[in-house]
Amino acid sequence: MGRERQLAWVESPLQLLAAAEFAEAQGRAIDVAFRLSGPQMPATAQVLLDSGALFSSCTPYYGIPWKQLAERRAWVIGDGLSGQFHLAMSTIGARSVTFLDDGIMTIHLARALAGSAPFARPGQAVSRRRTLLASLTRERLHAASARESLGLFTAFGDHPAIRELAGHGVALADNGFGWLRSHGRPITLPSRRVVLGAAVVADRTSDAERYLDWVRSVAGSSADTTGPNVAYLPHRREPEAVLARIAELPGVTLIRTGLPVELALAGTAEPLDIVSLRSTAAVTLRIVLAGTGSTIRTNEFAESVR
C-alpha cells in the first residue's frame, strides 16, 4: 500500500480502535480525523493518545474533513458505505484506500466491493445522486485494486464474504487487537458477570419493555449472591430513559465508562462471564479477551443488533 503518509477518517469508537491497531500493525504513525458523533469519540481518542497510540495527529471534525483528505491521498476509511465518503472519493479521490471494520456493516461492504450487493447500507433509501456517487466510488476502488492499492484491515477475516475479497484484488490483513491487549487498562467491575447493552430500543428493533425483561432475566439467572448480580455496560446509543430504568433493576449495577467495551475491558486480570445480544462486540471481545478464560454468550433475543 506504499509508504505515503496516511489519513484515517473514522466515525465510531470501534473505528478509532481499529485505526490504533492499524498504525501499530504498520509500525508507523498515521494522521486521524475523527467525527464528533458523540461524547465517546473524544474520550476514546484521549485514552488512545494517553496509551501511546501511533497517531501523529488526532483532530475532531464535523461533516467531511476536506482539507486533510486533499493533503493526504492515502486514506484509511472507517465507513466505506457512507455517502460522505462516496462524495469525497468521487471528487478528490485517493491514491490508496484501506478500509477498517465498521461492525457488521463490514460484511456488507465486502459484498459490495465484490459486486454482489449494492454500495449502500441495507434498507437505506438511495437517491439518483447517491447511486451515481456510489457507482463512481466503486469504479475508483476497482482501479485502486488493479494497482494493488486497496486493502481491508479486519477482525472478521474468517467470514466467507471477507475471504472472497482476496480474489478481487483486495489486500486483507487481520486485526488481532494485539496493541489493545498489551495496553489495556481495565475498569474495576463490581461483578465478574457482565451484560453488554444494546441499541435495540434506539434502533426500534425492540420496545423498551421487552428489552428490560431481557436484562431482568439475565440478572435474575446469576448465581452470585455475594454482591451485585451483573455489571451492565451500556451501549453508546441507548436512550437515557431506558438506562434510568435499568439502573433501578435489582441485582444490576450500571457502569458508565464513556468508552467502547473493548477498551473498557481489555487487559482484565480475571475471567469474565459476558452476556450479550448478537452484536459486533460479541465478536471483537472474543479476540480482545483471548487467553483470559473469559466466556462470551450471545442471546438471539433480537435479530438485528448493531
Domain spans, the chain = 6-181, 185-299
Distance CA(250)–CA(176), nearest Å, equals: 37
| Residues pairing with 59 in the sheet | 33
Give the three cell numbers for residue 73: 491521498
Q: Which residues of the chain have pLDDT under 50?
A: 1, 225, 302-306
Nearest CA among 76, 74, 86, 152 for reference residue 118 = 86
| Domain 6-181 class, CATH top level | alpha beta
Same fold, 6-181 and 185-299: yes
Total-model pTM:
0.91
Backbone torsions φ then ψ of 140, nearest 5 degrees: -70, -35
The arrangement of secondary structure in 185-299, i.e. its CATH architecture, is: 3-Layer(aba) Sandwich (3.40)
Question: Looking at the chain, how many residues does it have?
Answer: 306
Please, which residues have CB within 8 angstroms of residue 11's CB and are 6 or more apart in sequence?
Answer: 34, 35, 37, 78, 79, 82
Cβ(62)–Cβ(36) below 8 Å:
yes
In this structure, what C-alpha cell is assigned to residue 227? 454482591
What integer pLDDT is reported at residue 65 of this predicted model? 96
Going across the sheet that includes 150-154, the strands are: 55-61, 30-35, 6-10, 74-77, 96-99, 150-154, 171-174
pLDDT in tens, 239-287: 999 999 999 999 999 999 999 999 999 999 889 999 999 888 988 999 9
